[in-house]
Structure formats: C-alpha cells, structure tokens
Chains A and B, each alone.
Chain A
C-alpha cells in the first residue's frame, strides 16, 4: 500500500496564491492576464447576483435561492477552462458555470423567477438551472444523481471519441450517497473523460464534514476507486485553474477521470430556508472570510497592476447596472402560459394530456377525470 503523506496530492493542498498575494512560482499556471481578468469580473458579478437574489427572496419576489458566496472560484474556473463541447453537471453551488460559458443573464435570472423568460418554463425550483445551449444539466433536488450522469455523459463522449469532457459536481455531503460511490467506481473502471469535483465547504446544512465521513480527506477516497484524487485550495482561482486544466488534459488524452476536492467554505446560509447561526460560530465564518476567494484573487491582480480601486468602482457600477436592469426586465415577464403545463411530459403530447390541457384552457375548474 502507498504510504500516506502530506505531500500526496490527495492529502496535501495544492495552492498557488500566497498570503501576500503573489503566485507561488513553483505551482503558478501562468494564466494569461485576459483570462484572469475575465474570471475576476465573473466572480464579482456572481457575488452580486447572489446578493441580489437573496434580497429578492427576502422580499418574497422569488421563492428560494441557494447562493455560492465564498465558493465562486470553482464554478468560475470551470467556466474558464471548459470547451464548447464539454458538458457540466452542477450541484447546488455551480449554476454559474453556464454564465461564464455564455448563457444569457436574463435567462439565468428568469430561472429563479420561474416565469416565461425561463428556458425551463417555470418547472424547476430556483438554483436548478439548465441550458442546452451551453451543455449544462440541472442537478436533481435529491442529492447525488448528477454524479453518475456526468460519468454516463463521459462514457458516451469516449465512445464517440469526441475529445470532450464531462464535469460533475457535488458537495461534501453528497459523498455519503450511493450515487457518489457508483459514479467513482464506474469512472475508475471505465477510464472515462470525466472530472468529478467535490466542493468541500465544510458543512452539509448543519452537519460538519467530520460527521459526514471518517476519511482523512475527501480526495483520498479516489484511491480506492483507482483514479487520481487531488485536493486543491478551493478559494484560489489559479490553483483551481491548474488542477482542472490538468485533469481536462488527462481526460482528453485517454488518461481517464480525476476526482478533485476543492477545499472551501460556505460563507452564507445553506439556502434561504436555513439559519446557520444555529450550528456554527461567527468566529469560524470570520476566519474563512479572511480567505475569501475574490479578495485573494484581487490581491494578486493588484500586485500585478491589473486591477485598481478606481477600476473596481467602475466595474461594480457597470455590473450592478447590468444585473439590476436584467432583474427589472425579467420580473416584468408574465408566468408561463397555462397551456404549457402539459408540454414536455412526453416527446409528443399524448391524447390524455391534450384532453386535460383543453379542459384547463376552457374553464377555471378543470376536473382531470370524469
């Protein structure tokens, strides 16, 4: 058996950004400036979107929201490195990958409102986005199914020799579900072009990771399934960029799947239905706020002269106007047409649903039977 050491990639922590904001030359992936700045802008925009959506939920204008505040680096890094033909299977905190890949902001926000601007036609709960245009599939409200689905998509990609990869995401809690273990096993046995990423944000609602698993790290679980596991600083965009790019290269070149544990922290509540003060200390939250992924990236960019206070003010004004205008446009949209209720249950509308639809459209009080 391989001895376990702090230097093992599945035990240690792959980091690029140092305390002083500089990039560790030993690990720096030398991401082009334009890409870094794009990532920075996306992270700022995402933080703003999350904050605004939470306000809308508090005001009763949307029903639910799950923010990823403090965890932006993973979805944004994924969006930066994903190619057009790659597929993405997010969990609750990675919807925003699609924004980086060109999904329109209005349609993204319309999903949260669930109105006629939503490509999903108001069917899914908020924070369950999908977009065929960017190959992103919504997670299922039951924790876990997206993990084997990502492996299945990768299986098909391998058969088609498409050269694309599938990304599958999960939280630390999801690693307790059988679907996780099945997915890891298949990914290992079949060597499919898949990158499975666990955002270990330390909490699964009120359950801390150490009560979820007795494993020393989450990444180390990959050993048992015969695939490489990497533990990366999930608040370090550069480190994520490097680890995910390497995993993508390996997958594309027939090297099979990689399992990545991104160590991070959920700064806000689990969702708008949760009150985290009941189970964790403010001191813990504050300690993690000091390691904020956006602040860390900013420090690096300032050091390199790529970002300035004045520039940020201007950018925030621009982003804030963009998001506010989008919300305004989207909120004004009507609900989906009532007749649309019956669409998409099957590929073609069957007679019994046509009957129900006609009854619903005709009168205010449809009776499905009799």
Chain B
C-alpha cells in the first residue's frame, strides 16, 4: 500500500478533488476559493481543474453563502462551504444552528442537508481576539451537526472525504498553523472515520486528550515528560461530535489520570464534555481530578507576549501533568 508525504493543506485539497471527481454533485464555494486559489491556498488549482461552476467565488456574505449551501444541499447537491476562517462563521451562525443542523429533524426527516462547512479555526499568530476564536466549542454542542478537527495530514484527508460523503452537516475545523505541516498519507484511509479517536502516542502514567493543533502541543509535552520519567499517552480525538468515549475511557482506565488540552475558553466546551464522560464512565479508575489546559478566560490579546501567555503551552501541560501524577502516590 502506497504512502506519500503531504502537507495538511495538500491533503485537504486532494480529498476535495477526489470527491469532486467521484461525484459531480460536490462543489466548493466561499470567499477567495477560486481565482485567488484560497486565502490559505487550500483550493489551489481547483478552479482551473473544475471551472467556476464548481469552484465558486462569493461576495462577502457568510450568511448568504451558508444559506445558499443549505438550499442547494436540500435538492441533492453536496456543497463544501469554506469560511475564510471559522471566526467569520459567526455571521452565518443562524444558517448552521437553526437550519443546516435542524432541517432534517424539524421536517420529520423529509429533507436532508449533506453539507460540509470548513476552514481554519482557533488561533493563528497575532490576529487578535476576533480572529482567534475556537469555534468548535459552540458547534460541538449542537445536535444534528458532526464536528471533526484533524491534527495530521492523513486524518485531514480521511476526515474531509468522510465529511463530504456523510449525509449530515459536517464541520471540518482546520488550523492555519497546521496547513504547512507534513505527514504520511496512505492510499488506504479506511481507518479514518468520523467518530473514531486514535492513540497518537502510547504511554502508561497519564492520558493527554487533545485535537487539532493541541495534539501537537500534547505530543511535545509527552516528549518533555518522558525526560522526567513520566510516560504520557496522547489520545488524538480527530472527531469532537460524535466523541469516541471508548478510546478516551479505555486509555484512562489504563493510566488512571487525564489532562485535556485544547484552545478555547475553560468555561464549558469540548474539554468539559470530555471530563464529564471520564468521571461518569471511568470514575473508579481515576486517581486524580481530570485537569484541563485551555486558553485563559479572556479574549485573545494581539501582543505576542500576552498571546503566548494566554494560549495553551507545552509548559502548562507539563505543569498540569505534574500535578495529577503527584496525586494518589505515596
């Protein structure tokens, strides 16, 4: 089975191209996706390949093209809607929350909305609070939506393809900071499915649970912890809704300790959801409270020093792990 090295953005692009070649109903729409080749070059070359009927540049009106996507999906097209960043989906929230997510259920199952919303999410570098939102926390709470957040090129490709083939609205949370990251992408992606986490690094003393860019922070922390004799297992969620509670809890049952790492605020969110599952399903295995390392509870500052302080960092993960491994040990 062949494997190639691809960048994260190339993996996403390949997934879209393959699915568009397979199914003429799939099309890409958003700001700057065509002529400009994508604000972050994810759709580079796609306009030339598929033409402007299938790679569609739009006016700046997220609520407009999100709604147009929903309407097109209901009559059988399979739109991929790119938000230049997920921050801008805020102005399309109603279309996603009240329409894409609900049309099947509210219509008694008469209508289907097979649509993908995608784009870079969470912090980039010094883009200020209105451009740094971790929007997955808002969306993962909504019944009817699926939300994925790949950390590696292989998963980016596999999950994008799965998202396009899915008959539900699927939100793909990418990351500007990951677009250039390289990784092995095998031809066979059958093990990449929505709702399935993976062990990104095995370990035995503590479980680090993360996704998207935070998986890389968790992996860095695991490397640092190894040097001080702590063996950390890293669970890379890949999918936030549905959430693979089995993989999370299996790991915690073995390590007895867990730290969740993600961008976004500490109040509620995906991390709190994970902590709930662990305390409910693996309570008897726990030796310490489950901690979370998140963005601080403030808007993201622009100043580089303050921004670094605000975001989850390897050092903060190490500090949290140090706390939880100290518990329950004589």
Contacts and interface: CB of A to CB of B under 8 A. Distances in A.
B23 to A, nearest CB: 27
Contact of B128 (A125, A278, A335): A125
B289 A370 contact: yes
Contacts of B37: 278
Contacts of B60: 143, 173-174, 176-177, 204, 207, 212
Contacts of A207: 31-32, 57, 59-60
A206 B302 contact: no
B289 to A, nearest CB: 6
Contacts of B61: 176-178
B91 A370 contact: no
B32 A205 contact: yes
B292 A352 contact: no
A66 interface: no
A336 interface: yes
A121 B129 CA distance: 13
Interface in B287-323: 289, 291-294, 296-299, 301-306, 309-310, 313, 315-316, 318-320, 323
Interface string A162-194: 000000000001101111000000000000000
A326 interface: no
Interface string B57-71: 101110110000000
Contacts, number: 147
Contacts of B123: none
A123 B315 contact: no
Interface stretch (A3-11, A150-158, A337-345): A337-345
B88 interface: yes
A134 B64 CA distance: 35
Interface string A331-370: 0000110101110010000001100100010001111111
Contacts of B64: 176, 178
A327 B61 CA distance: 37
Nearest to A352: B297
A128 B318 CA distance: 36
B59 A212 contact: yes
A124 B130 CA distance: 8
Contacts of A176: 59-61, 64
Contacts of A173: 59-60
B183 interface: no
Contacts of B87: 141-142
B310 A367 contact: no
Contact of B291 (A63, A177, A370): A370
A114 interface: yes
Interface in B1-46: 31-32, 35-37, 39
Nearest to B131: A141
B301 A142 contact: no
A367 B323 contact: yes
Contacts of B289: 370
Nearest to A334: B305
B262 to A, nearest CB: 12
A115 B320 CA distance: 30
A216 interface: no
A26 interface: no
B291 A140 contact: no
B292 A368 contact: yes
B127 interface: yes
B296 A365 contact: no
Interface in A99-128: 114-115, 121-126, 128
A154 B178 CA distance: 44
B304 A367 contact: no
A273 B294 CA distance: 28
A202 to B, nearest CB: 14
A364 B303 contact: no
Given A140-B130, A144-B91, A370-B320, A178 B63 contact: yes
A205 B302 contact: no
B186 interface: no
B36 A367 contact: no
Contacts of A159: none
Contacts of B195: none
Choose among B39, B296, B303 the residue with the greatest number of A CB atoms under 10 Å from its CB: B303
A207 B125 CA distance: 25
Given A125-B302, A173-B59, A368 B296 contact: yes
B282 to A, nearest CB: 17
Contacts of A290: none
B292 A369 contact: yes
B320 A335 contact: no
A308 interface: no
Interface in B45-89: 57, 59-61, 63-64, 87-88
Given A123-B128, A365-B318, A367-B319, A206 B35 contact: yes
B224 to A, nearest CB: 12
B34 to A, nearest CB: 9
A213 interface: yes
B298 A142 contact: no
Contacts of B301: 114, 121-123, 336, 341
Given A178-B63, A207-B32, A124 B297 contact: no
Contacts of B293: 367-368
Contacts of B35: 206, 279
B302 A114 contact: yes
A124 B129 contact: yes
B316 to A, nearest CB: 5
A122 to B, nearest CB: 3
B142 interface: no
B59 A126 contact: no
Interface of B: 31-32, 35-37, 39, 57, 59-61, 63-64, 87-88, 90-91, 125-131, 266, 289, 291-294, 296-299, 301-306, 309-310, 313, 315-316, 318-320, 323-324
22 contacts: A63-B125, A114-B126, A121-B301, A122-B303, A123-B301, A124-B129, A125-B302, A141-B127, A141-B131, A142-B90, A177-B61, A205-B32, A211-B59, A278-B37, A335-B303, A338-B309, A340-B306, A341-B310, A353-B298, A366-B296, A368-B266, A370-B323
Q: What are the 9 A-B residue pairs with the smallest beta carbon separation, nearest first?
A: A122-B303, A125-B128, A141-B130, A370-B291, A365-B319, A176-B59, A63-B126, A206-B36, A176-B61
